[in-house]
C-alpha cells in the first residue's frame, strides 16, 4: 500500500498539477491538505473518473483536507473532536478527516490533518495551535486503544529537529520551531507513535517545504514539516518512506512536495 501526503496549496490553482501527479505516481491513497474548497466545488467527479474514491472536509478559501483512494474507503468522519481541559473546544476549521482504507492484507485507519500554523507567536493563533495539538493527542490516544494500524499524515507545521531546517537559527522564534511546538510534537510521539521518514533516514538535508519567496527553492533553503506518525501496528507494516523532492521543480508546483509511506498492507 503506497500512501502519500501532499499539501497542494489550492485545488483550483493546482488541479492540473495534482491530476498529472496522480497519473504519473499512482498512489494507492493520496491525503491532501489546503484544498481551499468547499465540498460542493471540489472536483470529485474528475478524480472518481481516474479511479479514486473521494472524501473531503472542505472550507471556503482556506484550510480543507481530502482523502483520495484507489482502495475501498469506509467509515469517514470529519473534524477533530473536542479535547479535555481549557482550550480543548472543537472548532469549525476544516483540518481533520479520518477514514479506513481496506488493503489486500490489512485495514488501516487514516487521519489526514492540516495542523495550524500558529504565527504570530506568542499570541492567540499560537495558543490555538497548541490547544489543537492537545486535542490531536487526545484523539490519537483514543485511536491507539484499537490496537490496529493507524496513520496520522499531513502538514504538521512542525519542524521537529535542528536537522529539519536548512537554517534553523532563522526559525527559532517561529511557531513552527518554538520549543513549545516541538515539545507538543514529542508528546504525540511519546504515545508510542513512530515518525516514519526520520526513523528510516537520520541524515540532515531533507525538506518538504520551500517558500515561494527569496529564492528558497533555488538555494535549497527548506524545512521538513510534512510527516507520517504511525501506531505500533502501522510501524510494523512500514517498508519505506521518502520525500518526492523533484515535484517542487515541476510546472506550477505547490510550496510543499509529496511525502510517501509504503506499508505491507
Q: Catalytic residue numbers?
A: 114, 155
Residue 155 CB coordination number (10 Å): 27
56 bridge partner residues: 66
- How far apart are alpha carbons 15 and 232 in whole angstroms? 35
Torsion over CA: 21, 23, 27, 28 (sign): positive
Helix pair angle (179-189, 124-144), 10° resolution: 10
Is 144 within 8 Å of 111 (Cβ atoms)?
A: no
* Residues sharing a CB contact under 8 Å with residue 183, sequence separation 6 or more, in sequence order: none
* DSSP-derived secondary structure for 21-59: HHHHH--SEEEEE---S-GGGS-HHHHHTTT-EEEEE--
Amino acid at each position: 500500500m503506497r500512501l502519500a501526503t501532499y499539501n497542494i496549496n489550492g485545488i483550483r490553482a493546482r488541479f492540473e498539477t495534482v491530476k498529472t501527479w496522480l497519473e504519473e505516481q499512482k498512489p494507492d491513497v493520496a491525503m491532501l491538505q489546503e484544498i481551499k474548497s468547499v465540498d460542493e466545488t471540489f472536483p470529485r467527479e474528475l478524480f472518481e473518473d481516474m479511479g479514486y474514491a473521494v472524501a473531503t472536509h472542505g472550507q471556503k478559501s482556506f484550510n480543507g483536507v481530502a482523502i483520495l483512494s484507489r482502495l475501498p474507503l469506509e467509515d469517514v468522519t470529519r473534524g477533530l473532536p473536542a479535547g479535555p481541559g481549557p482550550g480543548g473546544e472543537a472548532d469549525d476549521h476544516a483540518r481533520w478527516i479520518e477514514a479506513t482504507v481496506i488493503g489486500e492484507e490489512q485495514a488501516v485507519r487514516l487521519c489526514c490533518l492540516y495542523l495550524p500554523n500558529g504565527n504570530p507567536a506568542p499570541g492567540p493563533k499560537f495558543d490555538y495551535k497548541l490547544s489543537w495539538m492537545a486535542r490531536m493527542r487526545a484523539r490519537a490516544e483514543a485511536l491507539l486503544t484499537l490496537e490496529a494500524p493507524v496513520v496520522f499524515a499531513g502538514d504538521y507545521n512542525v519542524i521537529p529537529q535542528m536537522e529539519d531546517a536548512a537554517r534553523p537559527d532563522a526559525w527559532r522564534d517561529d511557531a513552527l520551531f518554538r520549543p513549545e511546538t516541538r515539545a507538543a510534537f514529542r508528546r504525540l510521539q511519546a504515545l508510542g507513535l513512530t515518525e516514519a521518514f526520520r526513523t528510516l533516514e537520520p541524515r540532515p538535508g531533507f525538506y518538504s517545504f520551500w517558500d515561494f519567496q527569496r529564492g528558497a527553492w533555488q538555494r535549497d533553503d527548506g524545512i521538513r514539516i510534512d510527516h507520517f506518525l504511525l501506531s505500533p501496528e502501522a510501524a510494523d507494516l512500514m517498508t519505506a518512506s521518502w520525500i518526492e523532492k523533484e515535484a517542487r521543480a515541476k510546472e506550477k508546483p505547490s510550496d510543499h512536495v509529496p511525502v510517501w509511506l509504503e506499508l505491507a498492507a
